[in-house]
């Protein structure tokens, strides 16, 4: 099986040749062989490497059962979680939900501590029937912890003791964790796999349940991820697009390109770019010599940061995701107002979007911006998302190994938390 995703490295040729990428892979053959065997990094975080570890047929059945119950009882599912816990499902749901208008709406909460934001969630729910899905690996993160409190109270007020029927939690087994609460208070439960860290968990119940509730075909998505896993694990390193991408981006960094920005031209893909940013930012950002990931949503961002990319400091690589949602019937309408846009009359909007994409890529490349490109089939669907998810999980793992960081921890995040806890303790003592 071939991937539908194609990696194009030709627009970095002013800085790196394909032969250099190949030579670098051959030079580090042992490292990549170890990566293929998932030898690098602590063993207790490697469960994601094999899709079937956490999304085999039995687990998919279990997820479907929970999703069917939620779909039958609620018009809205509030997903409470933050960071790695919700960005994967957010990426797929916010892009694919439009194909399933009759499915429950997914509303995201517990990803901030803003009182206003939580009010907005309540307003959006209105009188509609609602369930909640709470994701927190060890249930010690403040944002989902507080949001769960608020929603327990809210659901109790609306549904009385029956509210438990509307709560599903997803966490590790163990004392004080969500599994214990589910047993004690009768909430539904799905496992947050012990051996999978937050940002590697999209292909587990953590990420798949919200997708299933939103009407996304998780069987197709997971099968596509399995196929991608097979492809990437059997391709030799030199011809493996995920390995070539991991090496290309870091060779560019060594030439001074310390920022890599993903570029999407479909606003519905913004949340995919945010997932990608989480993967690379939290996985690699632990040493000085690492890439800062960012993303642009064009054409809008061409009218702001695009100026900087074109002529500002030359330290940005762009990674284009050539992926369009097409609407051939949507054409620029005629007009009896002399507005100066008559030259576009009758043209499909799609061709304008493609012209923006091709025009900006060429302008940036011509001016010396190295541009990587992933070419995808039009109209992203479950198959493409399964591919994208596994592809970039594999790629970030290879990239982190290549620059020599532990791909699975995020100790730095604890520093701000310590300050926050100190401040909150002072606050309560007053």
Catalytic site residues? 282, 303, 417
Decide whether 82 or 216 has the Cβ nearer to ligand PA5.
82
Judged by CB under 6 A, the residue of 229, 260, 282, 373 near ligand PA5 is 282
Number of residues that bind ligand PA5 (CB under 6 A): 14
Q: Dihedral of the CA atoms 351, 352, 357, 363 (nearest 10)? A: 120
Which residue number places its CB atom closest to ligand PA5? 198
Q: Contact region for ligand PA5 (CB under 6 A) — 42-50, 133-141, 263-271, 333-341? A: 133-141
Helices (H) and strands (E) counted in the chain, each on its own, are 15, 10
Euclidean distance between the first and the last CA atom of the chain, given in angstroms as a whole number: 64
Residues 6+ apart with CB under 8 A from 81: 110, 111, 133, 134, 135, 136, 144, 206
Backbone φ, ψ for residue 80 (5° rounding): -105, 120
Q: Contact region for ligand PA5 (CB under 6 A) — 69-77, 132-140, 308-316, 322-330? A: 132-140
Residue 202 binds ligand PA5, judged by CB under 6 A = no
Q: Contact region for ligand PA5 (CB under 6 A) — 192-200, 208-216, 260-268, 330-338? A: 192-200
Residues 6+ apart with CB under 8 A from 335: 341, 342, 345
Residue 59 CA: distances (Å) to CA of 52, 204, 331: 9, 9, 44
Residue 205 binds ligand PA5, judged by CB under 6 A = no
Cβ atoms 206, 170 nearer than 8 A: yes
CB of 195 to ligand PA5, least distance (A): 13
Residue 138 binds ligand PA5, judged by CB under 6 A = yes
Would you list the DSSP string of 340-404? S-GGGTT-BHHHHHHHHHHHHHHHHHHTT--EEEEE--SS--HHHHHHHHHHHHHHHHHHHHHHT
Judged by CB under 6 A, the residue of 199, 244, 364, 383 near ligand PA5 is 199
And the tokens for 231?
Answer: 């492809």
Site mask for ligand PA5 (CB under 6 A), range 70-89, x = bound:
------------xxxx----
Q: Contact region for ligand PA5 (CB under 6 A) — 194-202, 235-243, 292-300, 344-352? A: 194-202
Cβ atoms 309, 294 nearer than 8 A: no
Decide whether 166 or 199 has the Cβ nearer to ligand PA5.
199
CB of 362 to ligand PA5, least distance (A): 36
CB of 343 to ligand PA5, least distance (A): 48
Strand (E) or helix (H) holding 109: strand 105-109
Q: In the 8-state DSSP scheme, what is residue 150?
A: H
Residues 6+ apart with CB under 8 A from 323: 264, 265, 266, 269, 374, 376, 377, 378, 380, 384
Show the DSSP H helices in 160-204 as ranges: 178-185
CB of 235 to ligand PA5, least distance (A): 27
- Of how many residues is the chain composed? 430
Residue 141 binds ligand PA5, judged by CB under 6 A = yes
Decide whether 47 or 380 has the Cβ nearer to ligand PA5.
47
Residue 136 binds ligand PA5, judged by CB under 6 A = yes
- Measured at the CA of 129, the angle between CA 123 and CA 132, to 5 degrees, comes to 80
Judged by CB under 6 A, the residue of 47, 88, 191, 197 near ligand PA5 is 197
CB of 173 to ligand PA5, least distance (A): 14
Q: Contact region for ligand PA5 (CB under 6 A) — 54-62, 197-205, 313-321, 384-392? A: 197-205
Give residues in contact with ligand PA5 (CB under 6 A). 82-85, 136-138, 141, 144, 197-199, 282, 410
């Amino acid at each position: 099986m071939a991937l539908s995703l194609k990696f194009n490295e030709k627009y970095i040729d002013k800085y790196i040749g394909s032969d250099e990428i190949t030579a670098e892979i051959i030079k580090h053959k042992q490292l990549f062989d170890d990566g293929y065997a998932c030898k690098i990094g602590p063993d207790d975080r490697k469960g994601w490497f094999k899709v079937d570890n956490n999304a085999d047929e039995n687990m998919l059945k279990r997820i479907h059962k929970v999703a069917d119950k939620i779909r039958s009882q609620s018009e809205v599912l509030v997903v409470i979680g933050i960071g790695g816990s919700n960005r994967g499902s957010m990426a797929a749901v916010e892009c694919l939900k439009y194909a399933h208008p009759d499915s429950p709406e997914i509303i995201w909460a517990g990803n901030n501590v803003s009182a206003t934001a939580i009010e907005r969630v309540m307003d959006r729910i209105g009188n509609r029937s609602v369930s909640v899905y709470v994701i927190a690996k060890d249930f010690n993160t403040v944002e989902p912890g507080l949001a769960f409190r608020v929603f327990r109270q809210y659901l109790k007020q609306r549904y009385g003791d029956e509210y438990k029927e509307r709560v599903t939690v997803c966490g590790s087994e163990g004392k004080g964790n969500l599994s214990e609460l589910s047993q004690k208070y009768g909430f539904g439960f799905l496992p947050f796999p012990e051996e999978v860290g937050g940002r590697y968990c999209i292909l587990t119940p953590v990420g798949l349940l919200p997708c299933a509730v939103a009407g996304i075909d998780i069987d197709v998505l997971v099968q596509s991820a399995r196929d991608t896993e097979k492809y990437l694990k059997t391709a030799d390193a030199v011809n493996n697009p995920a390995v070539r991408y991991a090496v290309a981006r870091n060779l560019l960094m060594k030439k001074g390109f310390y920022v890599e920005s993903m570029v999407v031209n479909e606003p519905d893909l913004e949340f995919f770019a945010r997932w990608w940013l989480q993967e690379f930012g939290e996985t690699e950002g632990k040493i000085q010599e690492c890439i800062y990931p960012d993303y642009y949503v064009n054409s809008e961002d061409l009218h702001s940061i695009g100026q900087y990319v074109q002529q500002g400091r030359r330290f940005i690589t762009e990674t284009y995701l050539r992926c369009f949602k097409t609407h051939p019937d949507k054409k620029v309408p005629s007009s009896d107002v002399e507005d100066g846009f008559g030259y576009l009359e009758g043209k499909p909007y799609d061709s304008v979007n493609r012209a923006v994409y091709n025009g900006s890529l060429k302008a940036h490349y011509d001016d010396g911006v190295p541009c990587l490109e992933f070419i995808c089939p039009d109209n992203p669907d479950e198959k493409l998302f399964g591919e994208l998810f596994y592809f970039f999980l594999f790629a970030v793992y290879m990239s982190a190994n290549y620059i020599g960081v532990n791909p699975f921890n995020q100790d730095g995040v604890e520093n701000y938390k310590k300050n926050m806890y100190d401040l909150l303790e002072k606050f309560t003592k007053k």
